[in-house]
Amino acid sequence: MQQKRPLVLNGQEQTAWGYVINNFILRVESATIKAPLYVVIGITDFEEECPLPTQKAGLGTNDVSIRNPEVLYHFTSPVGLAVILHTKHIALTESNLNIREGNCTVVWLTSSQSPENNGLEYDNNTHTEYDKMSLRITLPYKDTYQHWVEWSDSKGMDKEYKDTLIRTANAEETHKAWYISESEISLGDILAIDNLATGVKYTVEEAKTAFPPSLIPRGRLANPIDELHDNRKPI
């Protein structure tokens, strides 16, 4: 549901449409701005007037699935986030288009707010610093991002292998919410960071303090170029 209410935009109070995307990202539309504006808000009574949306793009009725989501999410671990903050981008990784080497690389995204059933399940034998289900990065949707189902088909992904990948990830439903970026995603695109384990929310600047480069073991940056320019002090 959307509610009209006075908001201060560019220093002027005006009537605007406000739509809460998640706990503290607000999508604002107004006749005086040419494009939607994303605003970070606190946990306020605004959420009571504009409840969180219950439908996710790609999950549910057909009219929902054809609409582009307002935001997408990238899930990562504490070490992964430290790498992102240090290198100033979300790096490309394996696309899993086939079982051979030489696949193209992508950034994995989803319109689902939950990390569950996306092939990220935490192994109890793995240290919590590598738990990819613990941190959620919120990003604004861009036209360059592609829906995985159609994208993988356009790349000629083998149907049997595709079905195996989905089944292995327990993603029979959630794969419908998957998106990919074929380019690195800049740190400046990040709207917010949520620690799903603790409930703590961070801006990028706050996260830099909470997840410093010292968390990153040597040799754990995402690609050789990042390693080449690694200027961290020895740990």
What confidence score (pLDDT) does residue 98 get? 83
Number of domains, the chain? 2
Segments forming the whole domain that contains residue 71: 62-228
By CB atoms closer than 10 A (0-12, 13-18, 19+), residue 61 is exposed
Tell which wins on pLDDT, 172 or 62.
172
What confidence score (pLDDT) does residue 128 get? 85
What confidence score (pLDDT) does residue 85 get? 97
What confidence score (pLDDT) does residue 132 get? 92
38 shares a domain with 67: no
pTM: 0.68
Residue 158 contacts by C-beta under 8 Å, 6 or more apart in sequence? 98
What confidence score (pLDDT) does residue 213 get? 93
As a whole number of angstroms, the distance between CA 32 and CA 155 comes to 41
**In 91-158, which ranges are continuous DSSP H helix?**
148-154
Residue 68 inside a domain? The answer is yes
What does the pLDDT look like over 181-213, one tens digit per residue?
999 999 999 999 999 989 999 999 999 999 999
Paired tokens of 156: 């000629």
DSSP line for 45-90: THHHHSPPP--BTTBSSHHHHTSPPSEEEEEE-HHHHHHHHHHTEE
Residue 233 inside a domain? The answer is no
> How large is the average pLDDT for residues 29-41?
53
Residue 93 inside a domain? The answer is yes
116 shares a domain with 210: yes
Residue 163 inside a domain? The answer is yes
112 shares a domain with 34: no
81 shares a domain with 41: no
